[in-house]
Structure 1
Amino acid sequence: MPPSFVTNGSLPYVETSPKRVRVFFNDTCIADSRAAKLVWEHGHYPQYYFPAAAISSMYLEQGKEAGLYDVVVGNERAEGAATKPASGPLEGLVKIAPGTQKGAFKWLEEEWELKGHPRDPYKRVDVLPSSRHVRVEVDGVEVANSHQPRLLFETHLITRYYIPRSDIRADLLEESQLTTYCPYKGTASYFNVKLPSGKTVENIVWYYPKPYPECSDVEGCVAFYDEKVDVWVDGEKVPRPETPFRNVSA
């Protein structure tokens, strides 16, 4: 079940991370803490906040709004990248926005580069081999048919069916330029599906070229947005799930 702080509305929820966490801006370490805080601002995933003492004031300058600070190293500036709550449970902490000026900031947990939000210690991802019969159709055209899928179970999310490439219609797939990042699995690449009718359905298939070790069993497999395709498992059609991805173009 979800952690109690999610179900009882006790947000933001704060706990101390046992990891050493550092942030670099243009190759300069601006934050270094062995007591960084994992903060759940909402129920989906945590963000890191730092004790004020973990960030040298020489790298922070008052921003254009109260509570916002620019991160400044030499001639480089990230406007409004840091936040200092003035009151409440987060008072005395500093948040550095992880998405600000992508490429200029580098985050490390110990020596592991963090490329997105921190992993949630209350979330688990399992990849299991299965003998279920999984078929996938896009607009009535079968694009996958497998008796050897890998099933990915992720806390609070729907089951995803990863199909070995040998069991998909590779002739219907074309590479997309889209990539996305998952803190648990790694960087995903995408395929479009080009149907015999000439219609192209964009970015509904993804795969992990180099998945993280915890999810290494999805390597060599692809998954579909079940929200946008038709899936049968052991002969039964699976209703399209209601998720935030159903009505959003990837």
Structure 2
Amino acid sequence: MYKIILSACLVLSALTLAKSQSNSVQTPVIYLIYLKNGGPFDKECGLSMNKPVKQEDADEILRRLNEFQKLWDTEGPVYLKTALNEIRLPFPYKEMQATLTACDFTAMSSPLIIPMKNFLSSAEKPRPLWAFPEILFHEIMHTYTRSVYEVSAMRQKYASEPAVVLNHLHVMALEKMVLLKMNKTEIYSWLDNRYRNGIPEYKRAWEIVNDIEGYEVFIKELKTQQSRK
């Protein structure tokens, strides 16, 4: 009798695990890239902005590349799984490369470029390392939310706003949702302060998401987009 009950429990556990795995949306694998001396991007970027990349900054990124990769591999997939499992919209790629840069540049989603100067020892006030996975997650979510652009009623409602504002509405809603679900209160406070006191377009988008509409309406739009697939 004991063996029968044990066998039944094992079967039930296996079925539960299989169901859990089948309900989990596949997240992309993110590889961090940095070429020796920064490669052609850092060189051209530094020259065009008249701010040449410092050799010590390039050396530090290359030396710490594995550290940054491990940091993402530990924290990043949790961000992605939390977002994708809630929305249920498949991510368009299985793998992505994120190029790090020592250039005094802004983060970009396409091509995926992450500036690292604020994380280096040469920074006047180095940014906390826990901010790195969040910033990379932000840029990856731009790729994830583009499918809703053409059908979003909220983007139509705010069509008179600059493109930078519109392109951040669903991304910021995902950021807020994920940080709340993960109980990342320190990071959420940092992000709230960063958006409210930084780039004007970011401030406006954050106000729309938080203070005017509420982030839930943007999450609902993304879930509606999933049902169209």
TM above 0.5, yes or no, is no
TM-score (norm 2): 0.28
Report which of the two has the higher share of strand: 1
Of Structure 1 and Structure 2, the greater helix share is in 2
Specify which structure has the bigger relative contact order, considering alpha-carbon pairs within 8 angstroms and separated by 6 or more residues: 2
